[in-house]
Amino acid sequence: MRFRRNLNEAEEPIELNLIPLIDVIMFLLIFFISTTSFIEEPGVQVDKPQAASAKLLEKNSIIFAVTSDGKVAYGGKEIGLGGVRPTVKRLCAKEPLPVVIQGDEKSSFGIMVRVIDEAKLGGAKDVSLATDKG
């Protein structure tokens, strides 16, 4: 039995196998991509009114926010009432999408009606108002 190693012997090269590591990384990447939800939020905080008949939001929809002082926003940026129709027209070019308007509870009814009208003129499939389930 030989327990000591002779320093004159040639050492075997160490081989590091990276294939299992790459497999694990790809599995984690696929897992995180498939479990992430991509729902676009308007970026403006509004206090929505409550409604008993509220339904869940469709994933592919255009979301506008109307603040209490009458400003209209899309994607966190203020676009104004004049920007609603071109935005809907651009996003509905391939297929008509539903539009959801998140109106503040203290916002003017007139501005809400004008936003709904501009969205319909832009080619929206369906226009809804967002509420909190009450």
pLDDT band at 134 (very low <50, low <70, confident <90, very high): low
Q: What tens digit of pLDDT does each residue of 39-88 get?
A: 655 566 665 655 555 555 555 788 888 888 888 988 888 898 899 999 99
Architecture per CATH, domain 50-133, reads as 2-Layer Sandwich (3.30)
Q: Is 42 exposed, middle or buried, given 0-12, 13-18 or 19+ CB atoms closer than 10 A?
A: buried
pLDDT of the residue at 24: 93
The domain segmentation of the chain, as residue ranges, is 50-133
The pTM of this model reads 0.56
What does the pLDDT average to over 81-107?
87
Q: What is the pLDDT of residue 132?
A: 67
Q: Read off the DSSP letter of residue 82.
A: G
Confidence grade of residue 29 (pLDDT, cut at 50, 70, 90): very high
Q: What is the mean pLDDT of residues 105-124?
A: 87
Higher pLDDT, 132 or 72: 72
pLDDT-based confidence at residue 34 (cuts at 50, 70, 90): confident
When computed from its CA atoms, the radius of gyration of the chain, rounded to whole angstroms, is 28
**What is the distance between the alpha carbons of residues 80 and 67, in angstroms, rounded to a whole number?**
11
